[in-house]
């Protein structure tokens, strides 16, 4: 057998067998021992009964070929393929999945909560009991919340998910989980117990002590348990007025920013089991807060992904013991303690140390502190349930003797995405930079792409993910994650009106519904990236109205001049020359940034329309984009390529976005950009907007040597300066920590902010040389450009078609390039000093001449 179907995926999620729609798309990957193998056809089998044929090469997000599936139904699909060698593969292993959605009108559960809360955001326990009179076939729990919830049935937690159902624009979109709980239910008496806390729903946004809860003041949950009996009958247990609640549970207080307080003396044994005496509990309240009909989860759930032990125990300047986990991470602590009842253990968190103490000033108003009050039993193990922190260092105080480091574990949590991409080189500091990028994704992809995970913010800033989406979509399979977030973006855009995309999604900042270049452009850029990297035309279909709305909004602002001028702008945010108190004060004129992004979003909208077959829209927006380009060149660029804003970001924008009128003008731009970098001592001079583009701009205009020196610079500001300072994540500012070990004096300083790590996409595509040449890597571009500073580099990626790899290494004055091209794909190969060639799948090796490494 020359071909084997190695995996089958149903729709987008890879962390679960749940499917959220009735006609899920199918993808499969194939491995083949035959070189240049392509699929000429495939067969799909459903449940061993139904068969459908696919003609041709399509194997990624293939339309569902069968009748729509129905709620709670379980299925298995198998695939076999026929190759261009005429050989038919064996059937793949069955891929089982379950219909996790509900039928129209099937959701009936109201939100319930504590009837008489004593304070804002009061955590609560909810419960009910029910009888099962006959053997079950299946029991499925559907649940959601305003806030966060966890469910126990008969004293056992129903799943391993954390902070369910996550954060969405609650008034417009609410997610429900779907959980098979058949194994937890017995014939006879049963009980459901629910813990709820406020989480994002009751959080105070806006960076002021006086900010009220944005959505509502109290958490609530809604559940319905669908029971199917062996005799064909059904039953349903639903939250309602007969449920009971108490605010006297062990979680005394809980918040995303401040942390969680747990008093183990208040634990009520057996509260989620049948027969518990809830005489001290009260009837629940029926929540009157607005609630859209919940829909099934389409993005990965958040789970505990990793545990890290204490690497070092330090003593602070004030004599406090500090635990160092060796990595800036996102999650919470699990502690094992012994002591007298009533002893209060306090857990404080910080990303960095300053003068030997926890550096907590960057947390601003967030307390990031958990407390645990001992029950007084022999050994107690605890970790908070409804909060998370960004930290590398922690202090655990309150015990008579300092806690042993072996009794403290850091639990890393984030959205459970599949890792897909890797990069490695001969430059150890560069490898650490890439690892810092990975940890930045892990820390900030928690239900939504946040700007930072530690302070009183943790918001879905559109600008950050707009610049970082290509990098994230290489390192992880982000398709389901970012597609779900894009739905929220479109909803908040509709709510803002006029096509305006708010600064943050979900929109919780009262002044955020203002057009801002490079931020609102997430509406056009993120769907474009997802289509390019995952071959997903569906996201363009779903988001096209959002893309068009944003483009029309900007065109209206541009008017007859076809330039975006005036109004609020973030500009090239956090340009290294910007003072600590004014991050928007950049060298590049914000109007240049705005007009460049006007062109890009209109151009991307035209391209999406063409892909979707919307020919009138494609022609209209392409013509408008050309008018914007002409206006930009006339206003901001001389014939020789000198720009009115003589700054690194201005040239990078114009070069990468295609805003030049001739090859000579473009070459002039590139030459001036290289001069600016050289004049700045090969130190970075860009902020959030220019940083993802500058290396590409230099490379595209023949200045790879300058890009290499810029990349490997270690002086401040540079990508590697934080690495020299011990960074294990990407910083918000180039100098979040100063050379003397003190924290940047700016009020806004984070040590886990992925935007400036967007250069990693250039490492993957250009330094290693692995890029998409067609959507979803159906055609791969193999075009490594070896840097003089490196002896070797490798990029590996699990593409939608299977594993791909490009690696190069120096052998004297020659460079050996190796590549692995997945089955059912082809590659275009562009090597130094060679004419481009096309190759098919399989292993390939080439040897080319190259300049020697730096210093040889």
Question: Which DSSP helix (H) or strand (E) runs through 792?
Answer: strand 792-799
386 vs 195, 197, 237, 731, CA distance in Å? 10, 7, 25, 26
Residue listed under structure tokens 């363009």: 540
Parallel, antiparallel, or unpaired for β 285-286 and 282-283?
unpaired
Among the listed residues 547, 565, 569, 568, the one whose alpha carbon sits nearest the alpha carbon of residue 556: 565
Give the relative orientation of helices 462-475 and 428-444 as an angle to the nearest 10 degrees.
120
Chain-centre distance for alpha carbon 626: 33
Question: Where does 133-277 show beta strands of DSSP type E?
Answer: 136-146, 148-153, 156-157, 175-180, 188-197, 220-229, 234-238, 244-246, 251-255, 259-263
Are the beta carbons of 236 and 227 closer than 8 angstroms?
Answer: yes
Active site (annotated) includes residue 732: yes
Question: Where does 289-359 show beta strands of DSSP type E?
Answer: 295-296, 302-309, 312-315, 321-337, 344-350, 353-354, 357-358
User: What b/e string do you get for 85-107 counting C-beta neighbours within 10 Å, with b at 16 or more?
Assistant: eeeebeebeebebbbbbbeeeeb
Are the beta carbons of 330 and 389 closer than 8 angstroms?
Answer: yes
Question: Where does 338-474 show beta strands of DSSP type E?
Answer: 344-350, 353-354, 357-358, 369-373, 380-382, 389-397, 408-415, 421-425, 445-446, 448-449
Measured distance CA(227)–CA(131) in Å, rounded: 11
Catalytic residue selected from 129, 203, 457, 820 = 457
Residues paired with 421 in a beta bridge: 797
Among the listed residues 353, 356, 305, the one whose alpha carbon sits nearest the alpha carbon of residue 331: 305
Catalytic residue selected from 11, 203, 260, 732 = 732
Residue 383 token pair: 């970790």
Question: Which DSSP helix (H) or strand (E) runs through 498?
Answer: none
Question: Which DSSP helix (H) or strand (E) runs through 130?
Answer: strand 124-132
Write a three-state SS string for 801-846: CEEEEEEEEEECCEEEEEEEECCCCEEEECCCCCCCEEECCEEEEE
Among the listed residues 181, 222, 414, 441, the one whose alpha carbon sits nearest the alpha carbon of residue 300: 414
What would the DSSP string read from start to end of 6-17? EEEEESS-SS-S
**Exposed, middle or buried by CB within 10 Å (0-12, 13-18, 19+), for 518?**
buried
Radius of gyration of the chain (CA): 28
In three-state secondary structure terms, 399 is coil
Residue 628 token pair: 């914007």
Residue listed under structure tokens 């500073």: 789
Residue 617 token pair: 């829209």
Are the beta carbons of 500 and 552 closer than 8 angstroms?
Answer: no
Measured distance CA(239)–CA(291) in Å, rounded: 14
Measured distance CA(485)–CA(482) in Å, rounded: 5
Spatial neighbors of 30 by CB under 8 A, at least 6 apart, are: 3, 4, 5, 6, 37, 39, 59, 81, 89, 801, 802, 823, 824
* Residues marked as catalytic: 457, 732
């Amino acid at each position: 057998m020359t071909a084997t179907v190695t995996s089958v995926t149903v729709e987008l999620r890879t962390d679960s067998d749940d499917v959220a729609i009735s006609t899920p798309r199918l993808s499969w990957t194939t491995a083949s021992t035959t070189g240049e193998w392509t699929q000429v056809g495939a067969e799909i089998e459903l449940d061993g009964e139904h068969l459908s044929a696919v003609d041709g090469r399509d194997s990624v997000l293939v339309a569902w070929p069968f009748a729509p599936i129905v709620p709670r139904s379980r299925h298995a699909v198998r695939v076999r393929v026929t190759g261009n060698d005429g050989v038919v593969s064996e059937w793949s292993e069955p891929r089982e999945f379950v219909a996790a959605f509900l039928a129209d009108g099937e959701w009936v559960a109201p939100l319930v909560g504590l009837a008489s809360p004593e304070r804002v955001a009061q955590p609560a326990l909810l419960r009910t009991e029910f009888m099962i009179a006959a053997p079950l076939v299946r029991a499925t729990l559907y649940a959601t919340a305003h806030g966060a919830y966890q469910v126990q049935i008969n004293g056992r937690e129903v799943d391993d998910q954390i902070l369910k159902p996550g954060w969405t624009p609650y008034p417009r979109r609410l997610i429900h989980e779907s959980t098979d709980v058949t194994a937890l239910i017995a014939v006879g008496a049963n009980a459901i117990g629910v813990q709820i806390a406020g989480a994002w729903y009751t959080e105070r946004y806006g960076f002021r002590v006086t900010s009220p809860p944005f959505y509502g003041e109290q958490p609530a949950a809604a559940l319905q348990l669908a029971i199917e009996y062996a005799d064909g009958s059904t039953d349903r247990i639903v939250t309602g007025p007969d449920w009971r609640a108490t605010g006297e549970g062990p979680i005394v207080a809980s918040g995303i920013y401040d942390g969680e307080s747990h008093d183990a003396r208040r634990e009520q044994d057996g509260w989620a089991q049948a027969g518990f005496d809830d005489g001290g509990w009260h009837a629940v309240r029926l929540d009157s807060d607005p609630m859209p009909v919940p829909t099934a989860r389409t993005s990965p759930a958040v789970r505990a992904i990793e545990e890290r032990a204490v690497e070092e125990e330090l003593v602070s300047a004030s004599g406090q013991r500090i635990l160092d986990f060796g990595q800036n991470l996102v999650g919470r602590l699990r502690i094992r303690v012994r002591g007298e009842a009533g002893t209060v253990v306090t857990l404080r968190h910080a990303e960095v140390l300053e003068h030997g103490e926890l550096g907590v000033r960057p947390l601003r108003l967030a307390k990031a502190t958990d407390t645990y009050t001992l029950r007084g039993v022999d050994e107690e193990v605890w970790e908070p349930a409804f909060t998370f922190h960004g930290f590398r260092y922690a202090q655990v105080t309150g015990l008579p003797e300092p806690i042993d480091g072996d009794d403290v574990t850091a639990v890393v949590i984030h959205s459970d995405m599949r890792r897909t991409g890797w990069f490695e080189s001969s430059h150890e500091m560069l490898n650490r930079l890439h690892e810092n990028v990975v940890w930045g994704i892990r820390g900030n992809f928690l239900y939504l792409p946040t700007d930072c995970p530690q302070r009183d913010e943790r918001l879905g800033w559109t600008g950050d993910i707009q610049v970082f989406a290509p990098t994230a979509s290489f390192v992880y399979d982000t398709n389901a994650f970012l597609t779900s977030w894009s739905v929220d973006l479109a909803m908040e855009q509709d709510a803002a009106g006029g096509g305006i995309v708010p600064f943050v999604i979900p929109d919780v900042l009262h002044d955020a519904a203002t057009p801002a270049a490079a931020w609102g452009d997430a509406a056009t850029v993120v769907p474009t990236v997802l289509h390019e990297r995952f071959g997903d035309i569906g996201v363009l279909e779903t988001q096209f109205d959002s893309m068009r709305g944003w483009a029309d909004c900007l065109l209206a602002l541009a008017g007859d001049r076809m330039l975006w001028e005036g109004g609020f702008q973030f500009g090239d945010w956090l340009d290294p020359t910007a003072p600590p108190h004014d991050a928007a004060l950049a060298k590049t004129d914000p109007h240049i940034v705005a007009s460049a992004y006007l062109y890009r979003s209109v151009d991307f909208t035209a391209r999406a329309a063409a892909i979707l077959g919307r020919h009138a829209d494609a022609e209209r927006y392409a013509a408008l984009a050309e008018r914007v380009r002409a206006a930009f060149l006339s206003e901001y660029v001389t014939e020789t390529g000198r720009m009115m804003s003589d700054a690194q970001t201005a040239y990078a924008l114009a070069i990468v976005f295609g805003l030049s009128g001739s090859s000579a003008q473009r070459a002039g731009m590139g030459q001036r950009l290289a001069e600016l970098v050289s004049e700045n001592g090969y130190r970075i001079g860009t902020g959030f907007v220019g940083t993802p583009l500058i290396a590409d701009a230099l490379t595209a205009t023949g200045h790879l040597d300058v890009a290499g020196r810029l990349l490997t610079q270690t002086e401040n500001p540079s990508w590697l300066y934080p690495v020299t300072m011990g960074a294990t994540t990407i910083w918000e500012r180039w100098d979040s920590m100063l050379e003397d070990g003190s924290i940047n004096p700016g009020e806004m300083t984070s040590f886990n902010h992925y935007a400036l790590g967007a250069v990693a996409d250039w490492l993957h595509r250009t330094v290693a040389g692995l890029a998409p040449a067609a959507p979803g890597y159906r055609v791969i571009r193999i075009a490594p450009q070896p840097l003089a500073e490196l002896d070797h580099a490798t990029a590996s990626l699990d593409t939608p078609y299977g594993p791909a790899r490009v690696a190069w290494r120096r052998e004297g004055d020659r460079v050996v390039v190796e590549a692995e091209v997945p089955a059912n794909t082809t590659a275009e190969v562009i090597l130094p000093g060679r004419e481009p060639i096309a190759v098919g799948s399989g292993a390939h090796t080439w040897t080319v001449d190259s300049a020697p490494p730096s210093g040889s």
